[in-house]
Structure 1
Amino acid sequence: MWNQIKHRFERYPSRMDVARKIIELGLRIDPDGKVYCDDVEINDVALARAIGVDRRTVRATAETILEDEKLRGIFQNLRPAGALLRDAAAELDFGVVEIEAEARNPGILAAAAELISGSGITIRQAHAGDPELDENPKLTIITGKPIPGSLLREFLKIDGVKRVSIY
């Protein structure tokens, strides 16, 4: 997917930044060229300000996307992933484990989930960063209760894991 997007914007780095932010936030572009977060319209000026580009760049990006059948199909079907509870976890008495790993290694999420469930802890949410969008993608797992520190070493034994943080 990302190669198709890069190809269309390779001569326009600012437009590439807009497309990247739209995907990162799960925004969608309607046939009218307007940008939405679910059913809430996001105005061009607000999006441009967040990215650090001119509003015309946002408009030009949307127009370019709508002109390309494949990109139109992608961007018209994006949806936000929902609220990540990481920052509110402490207030909810939840646990958080963040894992930095070699994102292309298969089975990291499965192995982490097995460790957590083997400890009798439920998983409330899991979010894996996209290695094509994030320089250092992280796997963030929100649990029904705090993770015991004793699991730290076990997470580090998972193939491809570089760093683990438990909150």
Structure 2
Amino acid sequence: MWEKIKHKFEKFPARMSVARKIVEHGLRVGENGRIYCGNIEISDVALARAVNVDRRSIKTTVDVILSDEQLAKIFQNITPAGTLVKGVAKELGFGVVEIEAEAQNPGIIARATELISLKGISIRQVHAGDPEIEEYPLLTIITEKPIEGNLINDFLKIEGVKRVSIY
């Protein structure tokens, strides 16, 4: 998706940063020119602070998006992915597996979840970072209970996996 977007903003770093932040957080640009997270309106000032740009950059970026049919179709239909419980997994008694891998290798999610299921552990969530948006995308798997650290070696045997953390 980012490949279809970024060329529209390449010459304008502030606009590129705004567009990237909108996509990273699953924000949506409404037909009215306002920015939303689901149905919650996000102020231009708040987004500008988060991106470290002038609030006018927010307005200009939104105007560019709405004036371009392809961009408008993309940005008007983005939906937030929901809650990722990684930060509170320990408090909830869940386990977390984070895998850094080469995204072009197919089957990483399938093999990683298979390893977990073979241990009889249920998976509550899976989140895969987008390699076009994130510099170091992670595959994050939240499990019903913590898994044993000795599975790290098994995860590292999956083709394309570079690093694994279990906690």
TM more than 0.5? yes
Q: Provide the residue aligned with 2:133 in structure 1.
A: 133
Distance 2:103 2:160 in 1: 8
1:91-141 deviation line (CA, Å, top 9, x unaligned)? 000000000011111110000000001110000000011111111111000
Aligned length: 167
Q: Provide the residue aligned with 1:18 in structure 2.
A: 18
Q: Provide the residue aligned with 1:85 in structure 2.
A: 85
1:100 corresponds to 2:126: no
Distance 1:2 1:139 in 2: 18
Q: Provide the residue aligned with 2:157 in structure 1.
A: 157
Q: Provide the residue aligned with 1:75 in structure 2.
A: 75
Distance 1:154 1:57 in 2: 47
Distance 1:166 1:7 in 2: 37
Superposition TM-score, scaled by structure 2 size: 0.98
Give the % identical residues. 64
For residue 37 of structure 1, what is the amino acid of its counterpart? Answer: C
Note the aligned Cα RMSD (angstroms).
0.7
Distance 1:156 1:7 in 2: 35
Distance 1:42 1:11 in 2: 25
Distance 1:56 1:17 in 2: 13
1:3 Cα deviation after fit: 2.4
Distance 1:155 1:3 in 2: 30
The unaligned stretches of length 5 or more in structure 2 are none
1:142 Cα deviation after fit: 0.2
1:20-72 deviation line (CA, Å, top 9, x unaligned)? 00000000000001000001000000000000000000010001000011110
Answer with 1-10 or 88-97: which moved more: 1-10
Q: Would you say the 8 A contact 2:155–2:161 is kept in 1?
A: yes
The unaligned stretches of length 5 or more in structure 1 are none
- SS of the aligned residue for 1:61 comes to helix
1:149 Cα deviation after fit: 1.2
